Amino acid sequence: MKILMVCLGNICRSPLAHGLLRDKAQDRIEVDSAGTGNWHEGEAPDHRMIRTARKHGVDISDLRARTFVVEDFERFDLIYVMDESNYDNVVKLARNENDVKKVHLLLSLIDDINETEVPDPYFGGDAGFEHVYKLVDAATDVIIKQQL
Ligand code: 4NP
């Protein structure tokens, strides 16, 4: 199984999802992440996201941002996006119905939740990063359960 996590900048939400699933899946799932925007290409995750992850025992400092490319539809079985705008940006690049079927909102994995999007924490405070951690932690738990 190959899973790609996608957000806007690939420096906050999707690197956290990448690092968390990488740790939980060990070698059972191939995981990567990408952003639909290219502003942060080659950069390490935002220091606030690195700090929040580290607080929970997850090291994401080795990850580097890259931009989503159309070939990702071939490389990955599932593409999880953080919000509706990520969904639109990724689906715009889909070449066929099979590509579209691979794209899902990450929070669609969680049944008992009112939220549908992992909110962008970039312009907010520390509480936003902690909230992202809780949502992504719960969603990646579901992925692991589904793969067992
Ligand atoms: P991310 O957060 O999509 O979770 O990585 C963002 C990072 C950077 C920007 C926006 C969102 N930005 O506008 O530079």
Secondary structure element (H or E) that encloses residue 98, with its range: helix 97-101
Q: Which residue has the tokens 């199984």?
A: 1
Residue 148 has pLDDT above 90, yes or no: no
Decide if 40 contacts 65 (C-beta within 8 A).
Answer: yes
pLDDT in tens, 12-31: 999 999 999 999 999 999 99
Secondary structure element (H or E) that encloses residue 16, with its range: helix 13-25
Distance 34 CA to ligand 1 centre (A): 11
Instruction: Give the single-character DSSP code of 59.
Output: -
Split at pLDDT 50, 70, 90, the class of 36 is: very high
Mean pLDDT of 107-122: 97
pLDDT in tens, 51-108: 999 999 999 999 999 999 999 999 999 999 999 999 999 999 999 999 999 999 999 9
Q: Which atom belonging to ligand 1 lies closest to the Cα atom of 86? A: 3
Distance 131 CA to ligand 1 centre (A): 16
Tokens standing for residue 89:
């940006």
The reported pLDDT for the residue numbered 132 is 98
Question: Which residues are annotated as catalytic?
Answer: 7, 13, 120
- Domains assigned to the chain: 2-143 (3.40.50.2300)
The reported pLDDT for the residue numbered 147 is 87
Tokens standing for residue 97:
């119905």
Q: Which atom belonging to ligand 1 lies closest to the Cα atom of 132? A: 4
Residue 123 has pLDDT above 90, yes or no: yes
Q: CA distances (Å), 98 to each of 33, 36, 41, 79, 80, in order? A: 20, 19, 28, 12, 15
Question: Nearest residue CA, atom 14 of ligand 1?
Answer: 9
Rounded CA-CA distance 48/65 in Å is 15
